[in-house]
Structure 1
């Protein structure tokens, strides 16, 4: 059972790496451009310990400092319906691949002392 779980984790990590690499090859993001595109994100993701209550109670993660490729891939998965949160799916549905890459770079550049968005 443990070997099976380890194999699944390794496979998942490998697929995630491939997805990040594929995203990076297609579009180059810009943190500066992303700064003008995150206005809707901050409504939930900048509130410490925020919990969304539709359709279920869901802890909204702080995404500052997260890997840019991960954010872009996650947004793409929401857009395609592979991830199921309805609000995120609606927001991601309005984003282009360039928007997703820019937003990913913006949040990847954030640290706890970032003056751009101190409430990541």
Structure 2
């Protein structure tokens, strides 16, 4: 079963539900990243070699790659389907969240 970001977070929402007090982009990204855990692992550390770990990657790089998947410039059937309905705000929050995580390489230093 493929879960889209909209299915996990709420169709078309790029902000938390009414009454929520979350304003931190990293915290917002953590909520939105629930749809990504199946492939990219908890906190962006993949357990499967064919899926890249996102933890600790550069925020600008992460945002750009997600934009490229969304536009179709970068091709991957799963990622293109996941990114198609992701808003620019969602992209910024997801990139902030994954950039703030500890990379698997850093854990072994």
Deviations 1:15-43 (A, max 9, x none): xxxxxxxxxxxxxx811110110011111
Among 96, 100, 106, the residue aligned to 2:97: 106
Secondary structure of the corresponding residue to residue 91 of structure 1: helix
| Counterpart position of 1:43 | 38
Partner Cα separation in structure 2 for residue 106 and residue 38 of structure 1: 8
Among 23, 28, 33, the residue aligned to 2:28: 33
TM-score by length of 2: 0.65
Aligned residues: 77
Gapped regions of structure 1 (runs ≥ 5): 1-28, 52-58, 114-120
The Cα shift of 1:69 comes to: 1.0
TM-score by length of 1: 0.60
Gapped regions of structure 2 (runs ≥ 5): 1-23, 105-109
Secondary structure of the corresponding residue to residue 39 of structure 2: helix
Root-mean-square deviation (CA), in Å?
Answer: 1.8
- Whether the aligned pair in 1 keeps the contact of 2:57 and 2:103 (CA below 8 Å) is no
Which structure: larger Rg?
1
Deviations 1:32-72 (A, max 9, x none): 11011001111101132x15xxxxxxx21111001111111
| Counterpart position of 2:8 | none
